[in-house]
Amino acid sequence: MNRSVWQWDDVRFFLAVSRTGSLSGAARALGIGHVTVGRRIAALERRLGVKLVNRTPEGFSVTAAGQAIMTQCSAMESAALDLERVAAGRDTHAAGTVRVTTTEALAQAVIAPTIAVVRQAHPQLQVDLLVGVRTLDIARREADLAVRFARPAAPQLVCRKLGEVAFSLYASRRYLGRCGVPKRGGGLAGHDLITFTGAPAATSPFFLGESLESARVALRCDSPLIQLRAAAHDVGIAELACLLGDGSDRITRIWPEEPPALRTAWLVVHQDLRRSARIRIVAGAIVEAFRRQQSALRRGSRREPPMAR
């Protein structure tokens, strides 16, 4: 084995395949082509003189030799990420890329408009907006900043409260005319629900705490925008951020006289990165955007008279 070529860049491909179980999954995680991943894994195996992964009908599995070096590879990853964060945290230039992860609703209503403001003042900044319900690992630099409804407990993460966001239940008038308006506190039995593939922990209690016994799941989707679209087409009842639901004239709050549920949004950054100039610029803009929109985020944009029951 040529020890001079044993570098972090070699092992990150192996770690990605071991974690995702496939070349395509590793390629997505690394942002490169799957052919490149396969080529780099094969090159690393030749250098080490051992087989690290085996192809199976279910994907790729790590061999005994691969398992034997996993701890050392993970340690190399941790050291490399620590180095990147420490270096980035000392950066004084308002240029480069900042990766922000958040939910689809907050991305559309708050973060995307904020990027436009940031770019006007700092045209050398690029923001990668990573949208979805999956929690990205800031310690592993899957993202630099996160705007989340769940506050992480990891001690190396610095959290700042941004404000509260209102959620309520929505459906189309045609759906409610056909199926009736459920009574608050009486559960959603007999109703069709639009929900996530797995209820995000930060949305608990789900559906404003109503009993879901004897309710039917009509659609599961992790995109609130598609959930809204489905509700507008009479599919059923969806729980949406009021900043989304109130903006559509195709759906209505099913209990407009009820105050919405409030969930706290947090800005999360790794302690090593919080002094980076580009991180501070984007983080500051997000904080200011939440401050300006505090009233709309907490209440939504409209209240309607309740439908006849």
Name the pairing type of β-strands 96-102 and 125-131.
parallel
- Structure confidence by residue, pLDDT tens digits, 213-263: 999 999 999 999 999 999 999 999 999 999 999 999 999 999 999 999 999
pLDDT recorded at residue 202 = 57
CATH number for the domain spanning 167: value is: 3.40.190.290
Indicate whether 212 and 237 sit together in one domain.
yes
Percentage of the chain lying above the pLDDT 90 cut: 43
| pLDDT at 81 (0 to 100) | 65
Residue where one domain finishes, among candidates 50, 66, 89 = 89
pTM above 0.85, yes or no: no
Residue 85 has pLDDT above 60, yes or no: no
78-90 average pLDDT score: 61
Pair (40, 145) in one structural domain? no
**How far apart are alpha carbons 184 and 186 in whole angstroms?**
5
What DSSP character marks residue 140? T
Per residue in 3-25, pLDDT tens?
Answer: 445 566 777 888 888 888 888 88
One domain, residues 67 and 101: no
Angle formed by the axes of helices 8-20 and 23-30, nearest 10°: 120
Question: What value does the mean pLDDT of the chain take?
Answer: 84
The reply to whether 104 and 165 lie within a common domain is yes
Q: CA-CA distance, 211 to 191, in Å (whole number)? A: 11
Q: What is the pLDDT of residue 16?
A: 84
Arithmetic mean of pLDDT, 181-205: 85
Please tell me the least confidently modeled range out of 9-13, 68-72, 88-92.
88-92
Query: Among residues 56, 73, 89, which one ends one of the domains?
Result: 89
- Backbone phi, psi, residue 271, to 5°: -60, -30
Residue range(s) defining the domain that contains residue 40: 3-89
Question: Measured on CA atoms in the order 44, 46, 48, 53, is the torsion positive or negative?
Answer: positive
Judgement on whether residues 141 and 38 belong to the same structural domain of the protein? no
Q: 185 and 104: one domain?
A: yes
Q: Residue 273's pLDDT is what?
A: 79
Last-in-domain residue among 24, 58, 89: 89
pLDDT at 172 over 60: yes
Contact 213, 190 (CB under 8 A): no
The residue type of 32 is: I
Q: How many domains does the chain have?
A: 2
Segment 172-184 mean pLDDT: 96
Query: Does residue 18 sit in the same domain as residue 112?
Result: no
Q: Each residue of 108-161: pLDDT tens digit?
A: 999 999 998 898 989 989 999 988 877 766 766 788 899 999 888 888 888 999
List C-alpha distances in Å: 200 to 31, 106, 197, 278, 284.
26, 15, 9, 30, 27
What is the b/e burial string over 232-252, where b = at least 16 CB atoms within 10 angstroms of the residue's CB?
A: bebbbbbbbbbbbbbbeeebb
Identity of the residue numbered 197: T
The pLDDT value given to residue 68: 81
Classify strands 96-102 and 145-148 as parallel, antiparallel or unpaired.
Answer: parallel
